[in-house]
Structure 1
Amino acid sequence: MSKKKDIELEHKPKSAWEVYSSKKHVAAMDKLADRYIDFLSRCKTERLVMDYVRERAEAAGFSEDFAKSAVVRIQRGKAGFMARRGKRPLSEGFRLIGAHADCPRLDLKQNPLYEDTEICLAKTHYYGGIRKYQWLTSQLALHGVVVKKDGEVVRVAVGDDPADPVLTITDLLPHLAYKEVEKKVSAAFEAEKLNIVLGQSPLLGKKDDDGKGKVKDHILKLLNDRYGITESDFFSAELQIVPAGPARYVGLDSSLIGGYGHDDRSSVFCALEALLAEDKPEYTQIALFWDKEEIGSDGATGAKSLFFEYTLEDLIEAWEPDTKLSRVMLNGTALSADVAGAVDPDFKDVSEERNSAYLGYGPCFNKFTGHRGKVGANDAHPEFIGWLRRILDDAGIPWQMSELGKVDAGGGGTVAKFLAVYGMDIIDVGAPVLSMHSPFELTTKADMYATTLAFREFFKN
């Protein structure tokens, strides 16, 4: 009589560090982490992310010609689509991973420059959910584009080259901040005071009515000398203030990666790595990268736009012209790749520990997002989750499942619901992150490695 296999009745999460402890995996993990740090350090804006995507795609043979079997399309420099034809026809569906390339930041206002107390500053409007105090007295960089009236596009980058100066925002000294410390955080840090210090030296040889040289004139001259722009060119500019400096390894064991933009450029990176690695798929593979997720996914490059739908129509016309778009969509399977909030040891009170993400335990699935009563959630179907459990467990990939904090503690949204409207199966998944939406977020090498392997498994199954 055959002996019955023992069944593990209790669920025990697996540490990604233990699963990938062999020399082979450690070496691969370290190489991936090095590439990721380079990516995160280079790609401070969504435009720079799309430049990176295009560069990697074209090097791998992807083409803008949709008659080819591997295609790429970039929308307005801020959203991207990549697809590789599978062995099965497109009408039988696809495997899609979607992520967003935008991150919380400070945007320069349309008319930003002014001078006060002989300091030239720039006005900002914050983008996405930030904690304003985290951006004060830190080293900042300026990135973006200025478009002149003749259509010339000028790239601007100040603060990340080691030869460049950095920018900053001042804060009140503690000796004079007695009233400030008694205020609520929401009142103590005003958005209109997130003003960027641009310089303090006047333009020599040019005097104002009071006999002083103007600092603003000096800054405008420096900008004109370096970029050929004038103050009116700011009206047609897209300029972002972001943390200066590269991403870095963190911890005495270099186990963590610290930097700006894990949310959600880590998912863009893992999806791209997975797509380029799995080059002989059964089903068509699609990687989709959006902008504007942090402010509601609106606009021509956000997930609410019809960019994906229009591009998929072009793909169907090129690959399988007699197929309905609705049939392809209904047979599609997708991952909404977005990071998860990890349990912070200093703020455990906002987490429900049995249903939370932890660093070092692999990618985290969120069956639903939304807030208080699952409002705004996709809420993935259990049949799809069961299939994902099987393929990841069969491949020996560690994973975990969570929700974002205690039920009444807050919440958040993702792009999942914007793809779910087409009838496809979709769930949120991504690496766990600490200090999310801050200028210096944290994730781990092990989680980045496990997430990339999970995405590869999804693409090839």
Structure 2
Amino acid sequence: MDKFNDIESFSHGYKQFLSACKTERETAAKAAEMAKAAGFVPLDTVQALHPGDKVFTLYKNKAAALFVIGKKSLKSGMRLLCAHTDAPRLDIRPCPLYEKDGLGMLRTHYYGGIKKYQWTTIPLAIHGVIVKKGGERITVSIGENENEPVLYISDLPKHLSAEQAKKPMGDGINGENLNLVAASLTAEEEQAGLSLQQKLLALLNERYGIDEADLLSAELEIVPAGKARDAGLDGSLIAAYGHDDRSCVYAGLQAILHTDTPEHTAGLLLLDKEEVGNQGATGMKSHLLENLTARLLRLLNEDEPLAREEALEHSQMLSADVVLAMDPNYSQCFAPGNTAHLGHGPAIVKYAGHFGKKDANDANAEFLALLRDVFDEAGIRWQTGEYGIMDLGGGGTMAPLPAQYGMETADCGIPLLSMHAPYELASKADVYEASRAYAAFLASDKDIEQYQ
């Protein structure tokens, strides 16, 4: 019963986190807020670092990193977790406004791997920022409060969908159909000569003080409206938008926030753009990890030649990303005996990738043995998983990128049903147990050499 109460308490905080963090900016900002509340200090404000020090950085408002300085030299390697702050969504286009057939519409561009038909006929919210000329920043959130309107993408009624129904499922809705219904006019408004574009712009100007040109320097994201909810008659699951990958973000945050003076420096990287290939200044393909390592070495007075390369090569990382869970409605799509199940803990994934392990990290057996020891000694309930039947598709994670430094890397994440859907399903017990697993890993002093 005590563990049940722990899981429920943990899940309550997680649901609040999910409901508040619908975008990469909101997720990174919340991580920084939680770090500061837990005694972490901004990395930019420190002049030197010592064992036990806790620092964080918020990078370009979309990524964050937290570190707890360990007892051993940074050159002996770090224990790192890496999760991503972004999730599949729709983005408002730079020139979105148009009117057609009596309705005011907003054009969108989908972000990441979505099933387009899943985004029609559900309540949607706008989250994001508008940066005006001169630098004024305006935060936008419409559709989350009960007294606010939501947005909506229409679909053909059943009565007219005979031709649509003949198409393959992936072609039933195309990207150019994902336009938001944003306004309508009454007969009185039409008689007064008001246009839909004028009405929309007047609404935006009244609420946010912006004009149409300001949308050119905006990042406005369309996400499912509403809060994370308990799911299942027993309430053991959580239905929400963004479990991928904010379940691992939250589990990692709770792990590092409760880490005190580990043997090796512990770090949590929360990076953007994973869903579109890890590109850009805030993605894993950037040089952020290298730059942060160099800064830590300088503040530790360890920045001699090749120290950065040595620190990265000797590090160990868990790519904290979600994994597919067995779905009894589609069990023929999952590999028997090699698929994660809800409620059985986080899953270690040796390899992801597509069609014959293409683009996979394929973790080393030695590192997997080390992780088995770490988790078993800490009493963690864990499992293994793959990305389904090998010729049906697959998936990718950040794991291959840090592995390029020579560090030991493996995927370890939370199983989900309906991954990349507007609402995904996760087990409360799995999110809780993943945090325990991540904490055990961050505290580990096991050296890969003893397994080689």
Q: Distance in 1 between matches of 2:334 and 2:394?
A: 11
Q: Distance in 1 between matches of 2:230 and 2:116?
A: 25
Match of 1:299 among 280, 284, 292: 280
1:45 aligned partner: 23
Larger deviation, residues 181-190 vs 331-340: 181-190
2:384 aligned partner: 401
Q: Give CA-to-partner distance per residue, 1:228-263, whole Å, 9 cap, x none.
A: 111111111100000000000001110000100000
Q: Secondary structure at the match of 1:442?
A: strand
Match of 1:113 among 97, 118, 122: 97
Q: Distance in 1 between matches of 2:74 and 2:83?
A: 21
Decide whether the 8 Å contact of 2:68 with 2:259 is kept in 1. Answer: no
1:424 aligned partner: 407
Q: RMSD of aligned C-alpha atoms?
A: 1.4
Q: Secondary structure at the match of 1:97?
A: strand
Deviation for aligned residue 1:158: 0.1
1:80 aligned partner: 64
2:426 aligned partner: 443
Q: Distance in 2 between matches of 1:203 and 1:244?
A: 30
Q: Distance in 1 between matches of 2:261 and 2:296?
A: 18
1:135 aligns with 2:108: no
1:187 aligned partner: 171
Gaps of 5+ in 1: 1-22
Decide whether the 8 Å contact of 1:204 with 1:213 is kept in 2. Answer: no
Decide whether the 8 Å contact of 1:363 with 1:398 is kept in 2. Answer: yes
Residues 180 and 206 of structure 1: CA distance in aligned 2, closer, same or farther (over 3 Å):
closer
1:370 aligned partner: 353
Q: Secondary structure at the match of 2:381?
A: coil
Q: Give CA-to-partner distance per residue, 1:351-380, whole Å, 9 cap, x none.
A: 111111111110011101111111101111
1:236 aligns with 2:217: yes
Gaps of 5+ in 2: 445-452
Residues 205 and 359 of structure 1: CA distance in aligned 2, closer, same or farther (over 3 Å):
closer
Letter of the 1:130 partner, please give it. Answer: I
Decide whether the 8 Å contact of 2:294 with 2:303 is kept in 1. Answer: no
TM-score by length of 2: 0.94
1:268 aligns with 2:246: no
1:309 aligns with 2:290: yes
Letter of the 2:25 partner, please give it. Answer: R
Q: Secondary structure at the match of 2:162?
A: coil
2:435 aligned partner: 452
Q: Give CA-to-partner distance per residue, 1:270-314, whole Å, 9 cap, x none.
A: 000000112231110100011000000001100000111111111
Q: Distance in 1 between matches of 2:232 and 2:197?
A: 42
Q: Secondary structure at the match of 2:67?
A: strand
Decide whether the 8 Å contact of 1:99 with 1:290 is kept in 2. Answer: yes
Larger deviation, residues 194-203 vs 171-180: 194-203
Residues 119 and 292 of structure 1: CA distance in aligned 2, closer, same or farther (over 3 Å):
same
Deviation for aligned residue 1:319: 1.1
Q: Give CA-to-partner distance per residue, 1:386-433, whole Å, 9 cap, x none.
A: 011012112221111111011111111110111000000010010100
Q: Distance in 1 between matches of 2:221 and 2:392?
A: 31
Q: Percent identity?
A: 44
Match of 1:257 among 230, 238, 241: 238
Decide whether the 8 Å contact of 2:24 with 2:86 is kept in 1. Answer: yes
Q: Distance in 1 between matches of 2:155 and 2:310?
A: 56
Q: Secondary structure at the match of 2:105?
A: strand
1:358 aligned partner: 341
Letter of the 2:164 partner, please give it. Answer: E
Q: Give CA-to-partner distance per residue, 1:139-194, whole Å, 9 cap, x none.
A: 00000001111111111100012221111101111111111111112221111010
2:88 aligned partner: 104
Q: Give CA-to-partner distance per residue, 1:104-125, whole Å, 9 cap, x none.
A: 0000111001111121110001
Deviation for aligned residue 1:267: 0.7
Match of 1:220 among 181, 196, 201: 201
1:175 aligned partner: 159
Decide whether the 8 Å contact of 1:202 with 1:217 is kept in 2. Answer: no
Decide whether the 8 Å contact of 1:202 with 1:213 is kept in 2. Answer: no
Residues 342 and 96 of structure 1: CA distance in aligned 2, closer, same or farther (over 3 Å):
same
Decide whether the 8 Å contact of 1:81 with 1:308 is kept in 2. Answer: no
Q: Distance in 2 between matches of 1:369 and 1:186?
A: 23
Deviation for aligned residue 1:43: 0.2
Deviation for aligned residue 1:440: 0.5
Q: Distance in 2 between matches of 1:257 and 1:205?
A: 44
1:27 aligned partner: 5
Deviation for aligned residue 1:206: 8.3
Q: Give CA-to-partner distance per residue, 1:312-361, whole Å, 9 cap, x none.
A: 11111001334410110111011000000001101111111111111111
Q: Distance in 2 between matches of 1:183 and 1:395?
A: 51
Residues 206 and 147 of structure 1: CA distance in aligned 2, closer, same or farther (over 3 Å):
farther
Q: Secondary structure at the match of 1:335?
A: strand
Deviation for aligned residue 1:204: 7.3
Letter of the 1:137 partner, please give it. Answer: T
Q: Distance in 2 between matches of 1:387 and 1:343?
A: 26
Deviation for aligned residue 1:436: 0.3
1:330 aligned partner: 313
Decide whether the 8 Å contact of 1:107 with 1:126 is kept in 2. Answer: yes
2:144 aligned partner: 160
Q: Give CA-to-partner distance per residue, 1:215-234, whole Å, 9 cap, x none.
A: 22111101101101111111
Q: Distance in 2 between matches of 1:60 and 1:90?
A: 23
Moved over 4 A (4+): 202-207
Decide whether the 8 Å contact of 1:350 with 1:409 is kept in 2. Answer: yes
Q: Distance in 1 between matches of 2:190 and 2:331?
A: 58
Deviation for aligned residue 1:199: 1.2
